[in-house]
Chains A and B, each alone.
Chain A
């Protein structure tokens, strides 16, 4: 098969960019057409992405790269190009599909918002940046788009900037991810410094590190890998930089679905997958990734149990699932990580959009104030349930297969992490069932005027639900299509596949059953734990006091330093400046008084000047 569509891949990001520019140009008048422009832009990208993916499904066209010379410094050359691999083709489809569905969904969700066209332009800009990130063929242009998505995230989290919480969350998201970005930047600089020919494109990075040529020393390799991972930590909300992601839920819900569940936060995973060869060259880095991923997975899952805000629960769930992906990558399973990224994108987007539909109906985010919505919002309830099951890892939904792939790898590579993963899966199932049962079953609370959302919101839910059911079948223990396609080698059969499947299903079912017992049947009192170990409940509810710790050990000292520097600036620097200024003003005042328009004063000055001049010129003979 030829590379006809891959050659046109550079068009994919340009559709959203064009949509963004159109929306920007049309301003507020674009309110009516904004929805159409944004949706058409992302639809065009989606179609082209699917064509590219289909092309890559076949044989032959596994790789295509093109671009133009961007920077030419002596012997160093850098292209600004794009690169289509199987991995990026898959990511293209995920991004454009979720983006398109979110566009459609937002038409209903944001219908009454004043600035809907601005919202759409931000989404288009984000889609453009994300696609650019996926297609980037070297580290530098990847970094470029990496920062662009960060900006879009900032803009969209703070979209309702009249809310103080949204402003604070936007700033927090931006600043915390910047910490990670700094790590990535240093990694890029190190790569530039140590790579042969200062090459930054992925192809040559792959060649250098895969071949273990020793061109880059082992210590440096580890350092680079760790620093890249720091960037991924920031973007993907891994511990200890996860704090921004739950707060980012202050943004509009479709944004949470698009950016903070399906695409941008997956960029960290994508980055690690993209530079996987560097990681593979360094066992230390791999272990770091695996352990941090596993810790994040269980850490965030436990927090998720104690939260009451529907979006925050989903946010911690996202953090937890991203931890799974990282763990998979750290254990050497590129397929597992990317597969989970793929399925997670669909079912987490589904869950968020479903949550948006609920919030749209009841105007609250507290799950304790909801209840009995199942009968009023049938489509939402069903699709949300599918998403929840997929997340909990119940067969045959998508999440089961990808989680199974990860756990199988973990069992094979590192049994400790396998246990951690299983426990995290149990917690996941428990908090999802808690969420589902509290929202959709039981007695209705509130004013009870909840109703099903409009068609533009339910259709994306249904489509995503289909994916949440079906997306998992591209890779099963019996059918290694995806891994073969991604890594180019025939997959080794999962050892102990059956055992893992049984365990993970059992754990998921157990979690759900426990949730049912607690929140529906009431066999176990709800405050069973909180009454016996109130400190534990508090610890979870306060998210392990991470924010407070950061506040105490980082924010406060830095703020104190800032105030000190501010004081120095205000009193010392400003003092010097205003002293200089004041001197000039003083001299000027004096000058003004001399410049009084009186001829006689001028004459006086002339005479004095003449006398001084004569003394200076003639008098030299006396003292020299």
Chain B
């Protein structure tokens, strides 16, 4: 049973990865990152039930992850809005400050 959960998480992670690296819209990139985080959460909870040492610790960690992800989304959207005001676009490929 464990491997089935892990497989779903892997699929989810890879789709999220693909979206994060391909999509132009910065909001969608953020969404894809959320997908990847959720895949991790799924792994944690699955191991919490079927792992070598089953315990509730995995669930506690998932809780923390969710809290951090929530904070991340909030800050990410805020940065996005600030960037949008400055540059007038949300296209990721137009953000190339690192080249300069």
Contact = CB atoms under 8 A, between A and B. Distances in A.
B99 A597 contact: yes
22 contacts: A595-B99, A596-B99, A597-B95, A597-B96, A597-B97, A597-B98, A597-B99, A597-B100, A598-B92, A598-B93, A598-B96, A599-B92, A599-B98, A600-B20, A600-B21, A600-B22, A600-B92, A600-B93, A603-B20, A604-B21, A607-B17, A607-B21
Given A597-B97, A598-B95, 5 more contacts: A598-B92, A600-B21, A600-B22, A603-B20, A607-B17
A44 B100 CA distance: 71
A560 B72 CA distance: 76
A552 B47 CA distance: 95
Question: Chain A interface secondary structure, helix, strand, loop or mixed?
Answer: helix
A595 B99 CA distance: 7
A582 B31 CA distance: 44
Interface in A580-611: 595-600, 603-604, 607
A607 B16 CA distance: 13
A598 B97 CA distance: 8
Contacts of A600: 20-22, 92-93
Nearest to A603: B21
A619 to B, nearest CB: 19
Interface residues of B, number: 12
A470 B91 CA distance: 105
B19 to A, nearest CB: 11
A531 to B, nearest CB: 88
Nearest to A606: B21
Which of B21, B92, B96, B99 has the largest number of chain A CB atoms within 10 A?
A: B21
Interface in B54-100: 92-93, 95-100
A607 B96 CA distance: 20
Interface of B: 17, 20-22, 92-93, 95-100
A599 B95 contact: yes
A600 B18 CA distance: 10
Contacts of A596: 96, 99
Contacts of A598: 92-93, 95-96
Nearest to A600: B21
Contacts of A599: 92, 95, 98
A595 B100 CA distance: 10
Which of A596, A597, A603 has the largest number of chain B CB atoms within 10 A?
A: A597
Nearest to A599: B92
A502 B99 CA distance: 99
A606 to B, nearest CB: 9
B85 to A, nearest CB: 20
Nearest to B29: A600
Interface in A368-416: none
A342 B98 CA distance: 83
A597 B92 CA distance: 10
A599 B22 CA distance: 11
A275 B100 CA distance: 74
Contacts of B17: 607
A600 B98 CA distance: 12
A364 B14 CA distance: 97
A603 B21 CA distance: 7
B81 to A, nearest CB: 18
A315 B71 CA distance: 100
B76 to A, nearest CB: 13
A602 to B, nearest CB: 8
A255 B20 CA distance: 85
Contacts of B21: 600, 603-604, 607
A557 B97 CA distance: 62
A354 B66 CA distance: 110
Contacts of B93: 598, 600
Closest 10 CB pairs of A and B: A597-B99, A597-B96, A597-B98, A603-B21, A600-B21, A604-B21, A598-B93, A596-B99, A598-B96, A600-B92
Contacts of B95: 597-599
Nearest to B18: A607
B79 to A, nearest CB: 13
Contacts of A607: 17, 21
A598 B91 CA distance: 11
Contacts of A603: 20-21
Contacts of B97: 597
A613 B100 CA distance: 30
Contacts of A595: 99
Contacts of B99: 595-597
Nearest to B92: A600
B73 to A, nearest CB: 18
Contacts of A597: 95-100
Contacts of B22: 600
A585 to B, nearest CB: 19
A598 B24 CA distance: 11
A597 B93 CA distance: 9
Nearest to B24: A600
A597 B99 CA distance: 4
Nearest to A595: B99
